[in-house]
Structure 1
């Protein structure tokens, strides 16, 4: 993956994550505020209802204003201006809270005029049960100045009640945190894999370039050795010289494949397209492929259009991919190899097919044959050597040209590779007036 692509993924991912976190934070804060406001409103309504009923029972009038004062987020002062019975207060509080569906614990205290302090009343749960509480160990409910008959109510479980109302929001927030953590972990894995892939690629590139000098030396030495009269006159030495040259050609071909792949991945290659006739390009390739096929007692046949096949392509890369496809067909076309090349023109395209009678490829491997370094598993048998770069190079060049390539195969029925190449209109000669 290119450095710019990695950078875009990181930046866009961070922007998306920050946006999602910002929206989630705003949602949580807004939901909290709404639930807190709802709690305060219900608590004040319940306390006002209690004050109104106490005043009615005492035949007293409620103050015109400031009946319920919120001293803190969970502590309220209620002014009644009439005497307050503790048991009756507790009962009315429970009834009002149940009526408003405010299932929350509370504790209360009543102002004592004789001591000028708050007399702790008790702690009541949402299940309408009073817990035995020592007034000295209960919560401190501060008094209010300027009032004579009033009581204070504190809701110690207010925060837990609000969080309980926000269970869905909390659940979604946890999911979001896990998603962010997974994204961060995935990003670290991507960066680590990118670094390892870069190191591997640089190592292969450097190693391949280092092979060029000794290969050139081997080629020259093998040529000199083969031309020596003493070696040429000795059948055993001549066979060794030919073996050295053949192995040089094989290794040099693999090195060139690696270098070509490296140049295509770096974007360092440029297609030099020109108008060419495939009928002029194919004969040398077919002649060479037929000779190699017949060396293995195989058979190569072709059936191509009997007319010009004009293409707009890079002749070097087109030659390379056709050579690679023919080479694959020869290597994997069975023993002995039987290869058939067919081509026909339809819809202003050349449909070229290279078919062999080899063992075929299972469906789960057909798409992966175009991946770099991928080779169809053959167990412990490795009759055909290679790096798995040929078809990868073919697909890269086809993509650069905008061509279509696909594989058609089945185990036991051979393999066919289909190319679809657009034809280039041949300009008509000017007709003299």
Structure 2
């Protein structure tokens, strides 16, 4: 996969993921807003009913008070009776309609509560109405012979004429009476609760009544202050001009919890799906990057292996051509030297192939690692012997600092020797000039620890994170200034982990590296 195609796929997947999450969040937000709006409408309807009931109750109270005045207070003057009669006859249908009305007008003189000598005249009108309807019925010979009659009579009071509620007395009553005497806290609270429960709002609430100037009244639940973002206001009382005189504010402390609880199942499902999408996207992206990395590593590995095999194959071909030369074929000494060269190069190629197969068997758990009690100091000495010729060839030195008290561990001597050899060879490869390597050992109650420190070129933090990965080498492509194919340290990590140990590296660019291996004691 080309780099441009890889970037395009990642970008498209990212846009799709962001789009899906954005749509999910949009619908969740819409659901919450819709629920919030529904809750607001329910509260507003409830407060509207509260306001209506409170006003009706006050009017009923004043009406009752007026009735007591009408009964107990004498007339201001004599009552006046007025009679009205209305009659109409339909000549076509032979029907007649009669309406008789009698009005009784009574004027009451009501004392006021603010001045001793003032009074208010209130007119009460009571009426009686008689309704008469008649229709002539034809006989067989088409002669009107009988009459069908209906008579209705009722008495009522005409409040639209009386209109006591709009009297100056009622307006003065509302102005002079303190609000907390016109309505009690308990009455207001119970009315609010009752109206909210009618609309399935069973939440704790706080309320407060404020004047049109924003001043608080005594009608409130405990210590209440207006929070315009969280409160629901509604007009409670109006003045004679129809303007708002007092407003009722209601706040629900657990409103958000109530709204979200109604959407909990949808929210949980949406969040789960978003979480699954993110995991799936991350996994896919990780696999894409990993596959791309593996593809690059395989390409590097093939290039490195080709280079590693190219030299010994060329050497073998040259040796064979030399042996065929008539001047050399009879020279046993030269023939033996070329044969030895062929054997060494063949052994070198075999070693490279064996390293690859060994890693493969380790990954498939096909490599048999039998464990015996071994002395790690002896194992380290044996590993140093294996690389001593290489060290001497480059005029380098290996110094040991054995300070471990307990040195016996359960392990496989062959593989642990290879582990130490690979770390030592790594120090040789990445050292400029004469290599200088130091080996330190120490022991704790549970672990045997050895450190191999070189003074080579070192490595960056990014390289340290990948140095134990299979096929990884800092030099890439066709640059072969350092021999190898990135399997040595991967093999080290596998073997150490098979022994239930840990291995890590500490390094600084230009100052060398220190590999530390911890292996459990017996």
TM-score, normalized by length of structure 2? 0.43
2:42 to 40, 43, 50: 40
- Mean Cα deviation higher: 374-383 or 279-288: 374-383
CA contact (8 A) 1:219 1:245 kept: no
Aligned to 1:386: 484
Aligned to 2:281: 185
* Matches for 1:13-162 after TM superposition, within 5 Å: 36-46=38-48, 49=51, 101=232
* CA 384–231 in structure 1, closer or farther in 2 if over 3 Å, else same: farther
CA contact (8 A) 2:405 2:442 kept: no
- How many residues matched? 300
2:509 to 406, 411, 416: 411
Unaligned ranges ≥5, structure 2:
1-23, 61-158, 164-194, 196-230, 235-255
CA contact (8 A) 2:406 2:448 kept: no
CA contact (8 A) 1:339 1:354 kept: yes
**2-side partners of 1:423 and 1:353: how far apart?**
16
Aligned to 2:452: 354
CA contact (8 A) 1:302 1:340 kept: yes
* 1:371 matches 2:469: yes
CA RMSD of aligned residues (A): 5.7
2:397 to 296, 299, 320: 299
**2-side partners of 1:354 and 1:232: how far apart?**
49
* 1:423 matches 2:521: yes
CA shift at 1:423, angstroms? 3.4
CA shift at 1:312, angstroms? 0.4
**1-side partners of 2:409 and 2:384: how far apart?**
18
CA contact (8 A) 1:405 1:417 kept: yes
- Mean Cα deviation higher: 272-281 or 34-43: 34-43
- Mean Cα deviation higher: 374-383 or 219-228: 219-228
* 1:335 matches 2:433: yes
CA contact (8 A) 1:275 1:312 kept: yes
CA shift at 1:330, angstroms? 1.9
* Matches for 1:252-331 after TM superposition, within 5 Å: 252-304=350-402, 309-331=407-429
User: Does the residue aligned with 1:285 lie in a helix, a strand or coil?
Assistant: helix
TM-score, normalized by length of structure 1? 0.50
CA contact (8 A) 2:398 2:436 kept: yes
**2-side partners of 1:296 and 1:288: how far apart?**
15
**1-side partners of 2:336 and 2:505: how far apart?**
42
CA contact (8 A) 2:316 2:342 kept: no
Unaligned ranges ≥5, structure 1:
1-21, 61-67, 69-99, 104-161, 425-433
User: Does the residue aligned with 2:482 lie in a helix, a strand or coil?
Assistant: coil
CA shift at 1:275, angstroms? 1.3
| Higher strand residue share | 2
